[in-house]
Structure 1
């Protein structure tokens, strides 16, 4: 069984013009997943400044959801969209500048500690997605740290917690968890992308102990990968939402 049927470049990809091209480029399930780490980090702070949290989530939505993904599509066209290079670069530059401006705008609430994090965020977006510095950031570990550990850490630090706060240990564990979850995402998405974007055929048969067989196809190999990615993209926003709801002021 060769399985040479045409597949979309991602389980959430859509076709049908510029609107759906942008939907695909923005990777909505993954973007929401990574924004959830910001919420988890903030929810663990001793006190939650909801204005700062809103600014942090919006900044990451612009920097990761728009800028990083636009640059990634420009750099090699992995999703095969028809969006022009100029449009992708315009979206990336404007979004990244707006994200940095949001970070600067909340400095009166967070203190100067946020400045190096804003700079680090810009470096991560450009370095990872354009494969700068010899591609040193564009690795499985780089992905886990940039899109898992970093947003969780910024979510916590942007709440300006006391340095000696006992919540810091909880935040550190959240950063480790976000790193591991992003690494797991990478472990699932890498073979899924390979099957969807580079594979032209699959040959083989699975033989079971009772003598029955099952032909191998791309769809059969993709099902558990895409299924796990879908569930995780639902689970993380739910976890972040639960933690933040628990921090709402009680009336």
Structure 2
């Protein structure tokens, strides 16, 4: 059974072990996908660059740093080894503190719709990654809601304090993408852990890479078209 994820495609092949773990634990492909969904929401209507940047930073810190650090704390498997929980908690809370402070600034400024979205995301962040309530929320549905749908809503809310028809359509697309992503990711991880069929692992890895680069590239194109 595989217990070390340092061989993953998204982990740098260079640098010290600590550096590689620090980058790997961020799960940058998935973090970038969620951040892209946030951008979709912001770009779904009229937008301001500072708000687009702000909400992307919020989600990068909340998901990329805090959520994945908490996952290393509360996850049943320890693919990155037995990392110091105290440090992980400190990193998570600092990242969350910055993210929520930034989000609350815009919420109280003119986008109060961010508050219920933030509360929901905060719930899923702790319930999913720490496997609270007996792990009842550690499932695909929670992932689709917190990774696929709410980020688009947040991106739209910070710009207009509303969720437009365009944002709803994009949220449906992001939910579908998230479902395909997480379904293949779970199979991929299980195959890696059990040293499954190499060709099937390779196929799943290609699917994950294709989704990642497809979403990121599509987001860049979307931004260029909307900006210019």
Q: State whether TM-score is above 0.5.
A: yes
> Any gaps of 5 or more consecutive residues in structure 2?
none
- Calculate the TM-score normalised by the size of structure 2: 0.90
Deviation string, structure 1 residues 180-218 (Cα, Å, up to 9, x no partner): 110101111011100112x14x5xxxxxxxxxxxxxxx3
Shift of 1:106: 1.6
Moved more, 69-78 or 9-18: 9-18
5+ long unaligned stretches in structure 1? 203-217
Pick closer, same or farther for the CA change 1:118–1:52 going to 2, 3 Å: same
| SS of residue in 2 equivalent to 1:94 | helix
Structure 1 residue 183 and structure 2 residue 179: aligned?
yes
Contact 1:111/1:160, CA 8 A, preserved across alignment: yes
**In structure 1, which of residues 165, 169, 179 is the aligned counterpart of residue 165 of structure 2?**
169
Cα offset, 1:82, TM superposition:
5.3
In the alignment, the residues of structure 1 paired with residue 183 and residue 190 of structure 2 have an alpha-carbon distance, to the nearest angstrom, of: 12
Asked if the contact 2:114–2:161 (Cα under 8 Å) also holds between the matched residues in 1, the reply is no
Give the equivalent residue in structure 2 for 1:155.
155
Partner residue, 2:9 = 11
By how many angstroms is 1:137 displaced?
1.9
Please give the per-residue CA displacement for 1:93-131, whole angstroms capped at 9, x wherever unaligned. 111111100101223554322122222221121111111
- Residues 23-55 of structure 1, C-alpha deviation per residue, up to 9 Å, x if partnerless? 11001111111110011111112x102111111
Instruction: State the TM-score, normalizing by the size of structure 1.
Output: 0.82
Please tell me whether Structure 1 or Structure 2 has the larger radius of gyration of its CA atoms.
1
> 1:175 and 1:38 mapped to 2: Cα distance?
10
Deviations 1:56-107 (A, max 9, x none): 0000000000000001112234422353211211111111111100101223
Distance 1:153 1:111 in 2: 12
Work out the CA distance in 1 between the residues paired with 2:121 and 2:202: 34
Shift of 1:224: 0.8
Q: 1:86 to 1:245 in 2, by over 3 A?
A: same
Contact 1:70 1:91 in 2 (8 A): yes
Confirm whether residue 195 of structure 1 aligns to residue 191 of structure 2.
yes
CA distance in 1, matches of 2:5, 2:125: 28
With a CA cutoff of 8 Å and minimum separation of 6, indicate the structure with the bigger relative contact order: 1
Q: Aligned partners of 2:53 and 2:226: how far apart in 1?
A: 14
Query: Structure 1 residues 240 and 115, CA, compared in 2 at 3 Å: closer, same or farther?
Result: same
RMSD of equivalent CA atoms: 2.2
Which residue number corresponds to residue 64 of structure 2? 65
Q: How many residues align?
A: 224
**Structure with higher helix content:** 2
Instruction: Tell me if structure 1 keeps the 8 A contact 2:35–2:59.
Output: yes
Equivalent residue for 1:235, pick from 207, 214, 221: 214
Structure 1 residue aligned with 2:204, among 222, 225, 237? 225
